[in-house]
Structure formats: structure tokens, C-alpha cells
Amino acid sequence: MEFLGSLLSGRCPRNLEKFKVTVGRFAGVPQWFRGLVHLCFVQITICKLEAHDLEILRDLPKLECLVLGLDFIPKEAIVIQDEGFRELQTLSIECPVPWLTFELGAMRMLTYLQLDFHARPSSPVSVPVGINNLRCLAKVALWYNVRYINSSSVRRTVKAVREEVAKCRNATQMVSLLINGIEQDDVQVLDEETGSATEAPSGTGVGAKDDAQEVDEITEA
């Protein structure tokens, strides 16, 4: 990935609309992404995500779909501020620990959020926060290996996201939650029963298959 990651700005395709790399990793977001005013789709895996990497992504004026693999465990929360990402509608993140914070006004056009995470040792605070700040959000999809359903880190992440989605629904924002492809009907339950709901997600599954394949279909296009 060194060649693609280090292209000089004068050599990069200025009219590029889609950049998809599914094999290999980049050290960070390619610097030559700056100024690609037509880029609407990005799928890459990176080994770090620093402030300048986020700045490059958020300043892409036409970015509508971002499929981002994070091949590292964050040492602090990845904060999505209220700047940039003006056209982003779909965000899919694969990360060992999805320690994300969405500030008020972040990603104003986002309708679909997918988090693919793993069972890893993590602190109690390293969970997604601020999903209820995504005002256009319609669907949240969580994916993890069912073998680790009793992992403390998996349980914390699922519980945190359920609570965030419940906040959306309490604010009359109807957001669908899918866990491993199963649509959840009991998101409003936020007491001790939340733990048992995490262990055995309930739901009708109506429409879940189509929703779960949404990012896959986009990335295959």
C-alpha cells in the first residue's frame, strides 16, 4: 500500500469518484485525498486514525459512503465533531473496540451506521457515545462473533448502543437497531433486563436481511 498511500498530489486522479481497497492496509488516510472534490465512496483499512486523518475525510465535499477498517485499538475516543462530512449518508466501521464519540451536529446527513467489532480487553468507557446526536439516523447495525456474546467488552458495547438508540426513540426519532442481522423490538428496556436482552437478542427479523446486506451491496457495486 506504500505506493497508493504516497502518491504525489500532482499524480493523483483529480476526478476520482470511488476508491476501494479490500486487501492490505494503509498507515493512515492517504494525504492525496485532499482536494478530491468528486470522491463519493471510500473503503480502506488503516493502522491509525489521527486528527489530520479525520480532517482529510471530513473535508471531502461529496463523500456519501465511508467503509473504514481500523486495524488498531484506540487509546482514546475517536471524536466526530460537527464539522465536515456534509454529504455522508452511510458509515461502516470495523474496529476491535468502537470507541467513538459523536458530538452534537455531527454527520448531519448520516442515515445508516454499522459497527463491526470484536471481543477485546477494554475499559468501561471505551464504548460508542452520542449516537443520539445523529439527527438523520434511521438504522444502526451491530455485528460481532456470537461466540463472544458473553464477553464483557461486547456486552458493554451492545448495552451502550441500545441506550443510545433508546434516546433517539424517546426523542421521537425512529431508529432501527439490528444485532447480527436481527431487528430489535425491545430497545426501550434499559434496566437490568438489558443484559439478558443482549445475550439473546429478540426481534421479528422482518427486513433484517435486507438491512444487514446494505453495506455489502454498496461495497460490491
Domain positions in the chain are 64-220
Least Cα distance to 117 among 136, 93, 88 occurs for 93
**pLDDT at residue 122, as a whole number:** 78
d(CA 125, CA 122): 8
Beta strand 18-20 with 41-46 is parallel
**pLDDT at residue 6, as a whole number:** 55
Task: Extract the C-alpha cell encoding 184.
Answer: 430489535
**pLDDT at residue 194, as a whole number:** 42
Confidence bin at 11 (pLDDT 50/70/90): low
Confidence bin at 214 (pLDDT 50/70/90): low
* Sequence letter at residue 186: D
Ramachandran area for residue 181 (φ above 0: left; ψ -120 to 50: alpha; else beta): left
**pLDDT at residue 170, as a whole number:** 83
d(CA 51, CA 54): 5
Report the predicted TM-score, pTM, of the whole model to 2 decimal places: 0.83
Q: Judge whether 114 and 92 are in contact, CB under 8 Å.
A: yes
Q: For 62-115, how does the pLDDT look when each residue is reduced to its tens digit (9 = 90+)?
A: 999 999 999 999 999 999 999 999 999 999 999 999 999 999 999 999 999 999
